[in-house]
Chains A and B, each alone.
Chain A
Amino acid sequence: MNENPRNFPAVSTVAPGPRHLLWLILPLIVLIAAVLWLLQVDPLRGFSNGAPPVENMTVERTVLDEDGLRLQVRAGGSEAMTIAQVQVDAAYWQFRQEPSGTISRGDTAWVAIPFPWILGEAHTVTFVTNTGATFDHEIPVAVPTPKVSGSGLVSQAILGVFVGILPVAIGLLCYPALRGAGRNTMTFLLAMTVGLLAFLLVDTMIEALELANKAAAVFQGSVMVVLIAAVSFLALVVIGRRRGSPTGLALATYIAIGIGLHNFGEGLAIGAAFAAGAAGLGTFLVLGFTLHNITEGIGIAAPILHVRPRIVHFLGLALLAGGPAVFGIWLGSLAVAPHWTAIALAIGAGAIAQVIVEVTALLARSHNARADYMQILNPAAFGGIATGLAFMYVTAMLVKI
């Protein structure tokens, strides 16, 4: 009864027709049957040991206004949950929940509490669920949540200009002085761009991960940030290389986009800090940001030193890189949920990684015809990277408290 392998019928090499797809019904049937059986027979009830369901809750948005407190909560945990009572500063307060009743897993609800909060002081909101579990949410400094108003938008825009657009513009103004750059200077500048972008990449990723940790558990914050950064990186590489590796104005544009996305996330976080009460943003801090971001402009200018861009290009690059900071602050001040800021920062991180790769490629090509990454690290390049990193690190000290 020995089966000779040669006797097996040959596997068809003909491309399967659409009929073959009908076979997908088979796994589908098995899946549905398994689900039905699980629901009908409940064979897992042996695991139910009488323990209460695991509950989890995240406060995503906090709004303070003349009506008191409004908080947007997202339910996590193993089952739908019910907010039974709400404490503010260890006292029970009446509240309204919209929508009412139980909050399904992953769903959100707004809880409004007519609490007379006190300007500049800290408050703690405690949610008590029907099982008696408690979830605390701290309001570190109570300040009215900014509302959309003409004057507010203008002052936020001015802040955005100082933090985002102005430094990039100042950096770009170095363009005429750098035009006559020799090969070594060119290498140095490109390497410095890589250095500062590397700093931004690390900084952005860490910020994104920190914010992701504040997001609801269902979003799996850290995984989400890493995946979004990777997809953003790959997508931009694919787009950027449709006609070969970008150089010149195209590369400058990509650097501007990367820095712009980074500034958008940064703007969101600055706006959120305003909304959450970090209003003590002094002039010194704003100037620190400006100084810190000047190198971004030089980085954008580096790839176009040997081409002849027009004035409008410079304007466009400055707006592309700096403008998103303004929009970020506008949006962020409306108390957006932390996962949105984390997503924005993650996309920015991917974009920065893309331009690091492209600028490095350009650096390699400027040495010899074949891109040879091993020979990139000559003294000028190393000096550039080190300078970029050091400058960013030192100026970041200005904005650290």
Chain B
Amino acid sequence: MLRWAQAALSRRSLLLGGGAATIGATTICSSKTVAQEGHHNYVTVAKAQSSATVPSHQSAHGAMITVGTVDNERNGFDPTKILTDWYTGTLTDLPDGRTLRTFEITAEDKEIEIAPGVMFPAWTYNGRVPGPALRATEGERLRIVFRNFGSHPHSMHFHGIHSAGMDGVLGAGVVAPGDEFVYEFDARPFGCHLYHCHALPLARHLHKGMYGLFVVDPDPARHPDHVNLAKSRLYGSPENAEWQELAMIMNAFDTNSDGENEFYACNTIAHCYAKEPIRIEKGRPVRIYLVNITEFDPINSFHLHGNFFDYFDQGTTLTPTLRMVDLIMQCQAQRGILEFTYREHEAGLYMFHAHQSEFTELGWMGMFDVVETLS
């Protein structure tokens, strides 16, 4: 007899008479902000607080944010440090006068906290997700010693120019657990690239966390027309020191194995830069090495608030491929370099996020805290 009740439940429009309708809760969000620091004691802290006690960088999100903070120490990596933590390897001279740059990478299984309180059984390079951001210079000889301490076969497949035997696919550098392989090739072309595991099944190995930045800086001597531009991109040069360079990987995690991501992020931890904004010195230009490695969703995007930027698709040119945009799209494994400055802006908080609202609201958003000088 009560089927009417269930049937009526599916109705989207209501035949409510006047009075009840006015209780609609449209003003909730702005007035009640529940700032909650420290995941494990959230109830004691979580008394509804007035907006005055909420950190200013969080007020922009209202109550629409994950609760608590991630234990970076237990994870073994800190998303704020990852931004500027380039792995440059060790340099040796080769007999022919060229430079040999050697990286050592290990694969290991590791449970990481990808959002406050949410553990994810990841597969990692050097114990972090994303893996170490490798940085080399155009023309160098690269040697990557890869040891697999994980429970599954893994490899390193570099986006770059190399021979078939160094490709990191099955039969060409896929390493069984406990084994080792040395990839060797020249650093070219210059640009903003990535490496990732190419063992099968591919989607699983990727979304478990096996990817990282692979940046090849242009050699100024090879680009006489754009020497200064090339110098500014060359890590360690005085021209490069003027820039504030950030390594960002847009990734996501499917925690319940339903083929859809529960958490989206820039550098793994949902909302990490919303809770701890990235400090930007106003006077210095900003360069972001951005990679999209989001699995399951075909594209991701980057939108900057209150500003426009030049974009170098894949970073393989010294002149922008897109000028004056505030939004770019990247398909899976697409990447590029963003250059912009807040020199003319007033100091303050500037948001950046994917412009797929769904990704934003599931964790992929952050803030630049533009300050006069870094103290």
Contact = CB atoms under 8 A, between A and B. Distances in A.
Interface string A71-93: 00000000000101111001111
Contact of B255 (A64, A98, A134): A134
Interface string B242-268: 000000000001011010001000000
26 contacts: A66-B23, A68-B32, A84-B39, A84-B115, A84-B117, A85-B115, A86-B67, A87-B362, A91-B64, A91-B361, A92-B64, A94-B34, A96-B43, A119-B14, A128-B118, A130-B117, A130-B118, A131-B119, A132-B119, A141-B12, A141-B14, A143-B16, A144-B23, A399-B3, A401-B3, A401-B7
Contacts of A97: 42-43
A185 B267 CA distance: 82
Given A64-B25, A94-B67, A120 B13 contact: yes
Interface string A90-129: 1111111111110000000000011111111110000011
Interface of A is mostly: loop
Given A100-B43, A121-B12, A140-B9, 19 more contacts: A66-B28, A85-B115, A94-B46, A96-B34, A96-B46, A97-B43, A98-B43, A113-B63, A114-B32, A115-B63, A117-B25, A120-B13, A266-B2, A278-B11, A280-B15, A281-B8, A289-B1, A400-B4, A400-B7
B34 to A, nearest CB: 4
A203 B3 CA distance: 11
Contacts of A203: 1
Interface residues of A, number: 64
A259 interface: no
A116 B115 contact: no
A289 B2 CA distance: 10
Given A99-B43, A279-B15, A132 B255 contact: yes
Contacts of B1: 203, 207, 266, 289, 292, 396, 399
Contacts of A131: 118-119, 255
Interface of B is mostly: loop
Interface of A: 64-68, 82, 84-87, 90-101, 113-122, 128-134, 140-141, 143-144, 203, 207, 266, 269-270, 272-273, 276-282, 285, 289, 292, 396, 399-401
B24 interface: yes
B21 interface: yes
A401 B63 contact: no
Contacts of B65: 92-94
Nearest to B3: A400
Contact of A100 (B10, B13, B42, B262): B42
> Top 4 closest A-B pairs, CB basis?
A132-B255, A91-B361, A84-B117, A100-B43
Contacts of B118: 84-85, 128-132
Interface in B1-51: 1-16, 20-21, 23-29, 32-36, 39-44, 46, 48
A120 B11 CA distance: 9
B66 A92 contact: yes
Interface in B73-108: none
A92 B256 contact: no
Nearest to A113: B63
A67 B25 CA distance: 7
B298 to A, nearest CB: 17
A197 to B, nearest CB: 14
Contact of B28 (A68, A91, A98, A99): A68
Contacts of A282: 15
A270 B67 contact: no
Contact of B34 (A84, A114, A128, A396): A114
Contacts of B13: 120
A301 B46 CA distance: 60
B258 to A, nearest CB: 8
A100 B12 CA distance: 34
Given A93-B64, A97-B42, A114 B29 contact: yes
B32 A67 contact: yes
Contacts of B21: 119
Nearest to A130: B117
A115 B63 CA distance: 8
Nearest to B43: A100
Contacts of B63: 93-94, 113-115
B212 interface: no
Nearest to A272: B5
A176 to B, nearest CB: 29
Nearest to A98: B43
Nearest to B28: A116
B271 interface: yes
A282 B4 CA distance: 11
B363 interface: yes
B116 interface: yes
A313 B65 CA distance: 62
Contact of A133 (B3, B32, B116, B256): B256
B64 to A, nearest CB: 6
Contacts of B32: 67-68, 114
A317 B315 CA distance: 86
B45 to A, nearest CB: 10
A65 B25 contact: yes
Contacts of B262: 87, 128, 132, 134
A333 to B, nearest CB: 12
B225 interface: no
Contacts of B35: 94
Contact of B25 (A66, A94, A276): A66
Contact of A67 (B28, B44, B256, B363): B28
B97 to A, nearest CB: 52
B11 A119 contact: no
Nearest to B120: A132
B362 A273 contact: no
Given A273-B2, A292-B1, A278 B8 contact: yes
Contacts of A115: 25, 28-29, 63
